[in-house]
Amino acid sequence: MRYLSYPFFKLLIAFVIGIVIATFFKVQSMFIYGLLSSSLCLLAITIFFKGWSKPFKWLGSLSVIVLFVSLGFWRVQQEQFLPENHYVNQDLIGSEAVIELELYEQLASNQFNDRYYARVRNVNATQSTGNVLVLFKTTDSLEFTLGHKLWVYDDINLPSNARNPGDFNYAKYLEGINVHGQIYIDKNKILKQELPKSSDLSFFIKVRKRLETALYSSEMSKQPIAMIEALLLGQRKHLDKEITISFRKAGVIHILALSGLHVGIILLIIEFLTRPLQRWNSYGAYLQTIVILIVLWSFALMTGMSPSIMRAVTMFSFVAIGMTMSRRTNTYFSLMLSAIVLLLINPRLIFNVGFQLSYAAVFAIVTLQPLFKSLWFPRNRALRFLFSIFTVTLAAQIGVAPISLFYFHQFPLGFLIGNMVLLPALPMFLAASILMMGLLVVCGNAFKLDVLLNFILEWVIDFIHKVGSWDFLLIEHVYLKLWQVILLYFILYGTALFVSPVLSRSKKERLIPIKPNNFLHLSLFSVLLGLVISTISTLTKDSKVLILHQAAGSAISVYNNHRAQVFTDFYKMTDNRDSITWNRLRWIEPHRERKVLRDSLHYDLKINELELVIIKEDGFYRKTYNKPIVLLTQSARVNLERLINEVRPTLIIADGSNYRSNFITWESTCLKYNIPFINTYEEGAVELSY
């Protein structure tokens, strides 16, 4: 593959390495600026001596690589510094204050909360800045619009980290989108509110609201309207959860999420409509390019400038320039250049799941799809079109499979069925939806086009529900470690790059063996390395006791090399919640490669020399224990000073089943007697050896 020798490929790799190193290791400012200065000096020297001596060429390449690594260091360092007036730097976390908020994005509501992102404008009449996640109780039935200003008397809290091994780290996710705190707002905490003035609303938000109003005036049903909102306006808040789950199980969730697929189709539609501009005069091509870029970025702004749309529009802007200027822009070049630009703007994107999936899919399509396509060339045009969709879908799913398994632990085998049905019709559907909304806005009447689209979308929903209900097509509970994901990509692309020259030959010449090259060696070495790491990992498994964080219940896991026994007491849970909670705990990280058994949690637990006393709501314990570890659960009604004097514990732990108000009293008592105290709300799961 020629792209491996492209300068931008090497620069992208160097830049990513710099970002990753600076994220996980402390890099001193003096070192960063020294590296930047020295690499720039070296580059200047090599440019000056370029025509004098060939040995300076490798020095020039090295200086550019070092420059981009140091740029990665520098961008991460810049992102880590929050301004002085940011609420995180004003000692406001956990302290009640009068906070002025402006809502800027509405999220999908869950069972308990209506959720928004908001900008902090003022705190206690002092100018402040920063973004927060705002949550209102759904039972309060509060309705807000974007740009709505609120004055609340409440406190900003830090989002929770992963409290059990393998749990989703919500705090890291929010940090990646520049949100550093959250506020749970009760209705009675709102002091004042102010509706956004029409002049305050962005022009593009006004356009979106006008289109939404037009959609809801049509003859379409609720869920077809919600699908069009998701496909063209980037708003998934009205989609039923069951529809989203069905699309995910069927492997076509990307259809609902605005991404490069939709932007690419819209680009082709705009390019077709503006083609007459090329014949206008000698500047027609430039005018067409400007029009396309304006429309693409206007579309991005109208849909809320989500990360996925920003990525897609950035990349397709480079593609559009090449298309309309009658130049054959290399897809790899556009892909790499857009990635560098986006990472320069926000280096945290490298850890964003959507960013990773997007580039993995596009990279796989441009790398693997030509290989699949070379296996068969149907003479029938319709068959050739369908085979092309099949190969694109297969390449994209192979490309994202390791990342999907790493984050979501499942892989839908029904993706071929869903994509083969939906992808051929998607361009026509998007064009028809745009036409329908235009007619509704201009004429107030869609001339039955809305009825037709409603019929088609309801059929699509029923079809995807059917495919998603085939459980045998969904592979679940597959857990990969990061090193396994990396090795899988080495194996995948090493093999692809090895067979690529073979598939470029004629059918007869393909049978002639070729010598192993470095790409094949990379694949085989990755397989061998994976086997070695897996063997070492199996042989070095530890035996531990893990006190898990669990609200409305308690859970303790005791595990060794091959088996885990989980003791639970979900005393206040319904059968349904008990089942959901157990299914989650069953698949936490220490349980994934072990046989898991469940047992009831009683008042004590002894494993070898480890003695654990569980104090429940009734406060019962025996006085015969000698220096045990004490676990306080269910807001135990116990005199902690008396317990300490009677059993002399070496450590006291309070789990998530307790009221938080108890922790202050318990912690101060432990401090008085010089006994370590841990609460799982703050520390997460507690690991003990036995």
Hey, is 163 helix, strand or coil? coil
Cα distance between residue 191 and residue 204, in whole Å: 30
Is 615 buried (19+), middle (13-18) or exposed (0-12) by CB count in 10 A? buried
502 pLDDT higher than 90: no
Strand partners, 557: 546, 566
pLDDT given for residue 327 in this prediction? 54
What is the average pLDDT across 435-464? 90
pLDDT given for residue 653 in this prediction? 96
Percent of the chain at pLDDT exceeding 90:
27
Residues in contact with 106: Cβ distance below 8 Å, sequence separation at least 6, in sequence order:
115, 116, 144, 146, 237
299 pLDDT higher than 60: yes
Q: How confident is the model at residue 355 (pLDDT cuts 50, 70, 90)?
A: confident
Contact 67, 40 (CB under 8 A): yes
Cα distance between residue 606 and residue 587, in whole Å: 24
Strand partners, 157: 182
Which of these, 196, 637, 240, 269, lies nearest to 429 by C-alpha position?
A: 269
What is the average pLDDT across 518-525? 79
What six digits make up the tokens of 625? 């224990």
What is the average pLDDT across 3-23? 82
Residue 399: CB atoms within 10 Å:
25
Residue 564: which H helix or E strand, with range? Answer: strand 563-569
Strand partners, 625: none
136 pLDDT higher than 60: yes
Quick: pLDDT tens for 368-421.
888 888 888 888 888 888 888 888 888 888 999 999 999 888 888 888 888 888
Max avg pLDDT among 50-64, 127-141, 299-313: 127-141
Strand partners, 86: 129
Q: How confident is the model at residue 56 (pLDDT cuts 50, 70, 90)?
A: low
Cα distance between residue 616 and residue 601, in whole Å: 10
Q: How confident is the model at residue 198 (pLDDT cuts 50, 70, 90)?
A: low
687 pLDDT higher than 70: yes
Contact 416, 486 (CB under 8 A): no
Q: How confident is the model at residue 650 (pLDDT cuts 50, 70, 90)?
A: very high
Cα distance between residue 217 and residue 349, in whole Å: 38
Mark residue 447 as left, alpha or beta (left: phi above 0; alpha: psi -120 to 50; beta: remaining). Answer: left
pLDDT given for residue 511 in this prediction? 62
Contact 27, 77 (CB under 8 A): yes
503 pLDDT higher than 80: no
Quote the Cα angle for 388-391-396, to 5°: 125
Q: How confident is the model at residue 485 (pLDDT cuts 50, 70, 90)?
A: very high
Residues 664, 669, 674, 680, Cα dihedral to 10°? -40
Contact 311, 260 (CB under 8 A): yes
What is the average pLDDT across 507-527? 72
73 pLDDT higher than 90: yes
What is the average pLDDT across 427-439? 89
What is the average pLDDT across 442-446? 86
Cα distance between residue 369 and residue 364, in whole Å: 7
pLDDT given for residue 50 in this prediction? 64
What six digits make up the tokens of 612? 């654990």
Cα distance between residue 682 and residue 160, in whole Å: 8
Contact 285, 326 (CB under 8 A): yes
280 pLDDT higher than 70: yes
What is the average pLDDT across 185-195? 88
Residue 428: CB atoms within 10 Å:
11
Cα distance between residue 320 and residue 288, in whole Å: 10
Which of these, 687, 643, 600, 1, lies nearest to 331 by C-alpha position?
A: 1
Cα distance between residue 319 and residue 526, in whole Å: 34
Cα 68 off chain centre by: 25
49 pLDDT higher than 80: no
Quote the Cα angle for 281-285-287, to 5°: 85
Strand partners, 212: none
Could you confirm whether domain 87-200 is CATH 3.40.1130? no
What six digits make up the tokens of 46? 């090599």
Contact 342, 13 (CB under 8 A): no
What six digits make up the tokens of 421? 């049905």
Domain ranges of the chain: 2-80, 87-200, 203-352+414-476, 482-539, 544-689
Cα distance between residue 361 and residue 369, in whole Å: 11
When comparing pLDDT for 604 and 502, which is higher? Answer: 604
Mark residue 215 as left, alpha or beta (left: phi above 0; alpha: psi -120 to 50; beta: remaining). Answer: alpha
Place of tokens 């990665």: 72
Query: What's the distance, Cα to Cα, between the start and end of the chain in Å?
Result: 53
Residue 363: which H helix or E strand, with range? Answer: helix 353-373
Reported in sequence order, the residue ranges of 638-680 that DSSP labels E, i.e. its strands, are 651-654, 677-679
Cα distance between residue 152 and residue 184, in whole Å: 11
Quick: pLDDT tens for 225-265.
999 988 888 887 788 888 888 988 888 888 887 777 788 88
What is the average pLDDT across 575-580? 87
Which of these, 407, 411, 478, 483, lies nearest to 173 by C-alpha position?
A: 407
Contact 72, 18 (CB under 8 A): yes
Quick: pLDDT tens for 465-484.
999 899 888 888 888 888 99
pLDDT given for residue 332 in this prediction? 72
Instruction: Tell me the whole-structure pTM to 2 decimals.
Output: 0.81
Contact 358, 335 (CB under 8 A): no
What is the average pLDDT across 565-589? 89
Max avg pLDDT among 210-224, 337-351, 428-442, 644-658: 644-658
Helix 426-442 × helix 222-232 angle, to 10°: 100
Cα distance between residue 82 and residue 130, in whole Å: 9
Residues in contact with 661: Cβ distance below 8 Å, sequence separation at least 6, in sequence order:
none
pLDDT given for residue 597 in this prediction? 93
Residues in contact with 594: Cβ distance below 8 Å, sequence separation at least 6, in sequence order:
559, 561, 562, 563, 564
Q: How do the residues of the chain divide into helix, strand and coil, expressed in percent and rounded to 5? A: 55, 15, 30
Q: From residue 659, how far is each of 291, 622, 662, 663, 664 by CA, in Å? A: 59, 24, 6, 8, 10
Cα distance between residue 47 and residue 428, in whole Å: 52
pLDDT given for residue 331 in this prediction? 66
pLDDT given for residue 5 in this prediction? 54
Mark residue 409 as left, alpha or beta (left: phi above 0; alpha: psi -120 to 50; beta: remaining). Answer: left
507 pLDDT higher than 60: yes
Quick: pLDDT tens for 358-370.
889 888 888 888 8
Average pLDDT, the chain: 85
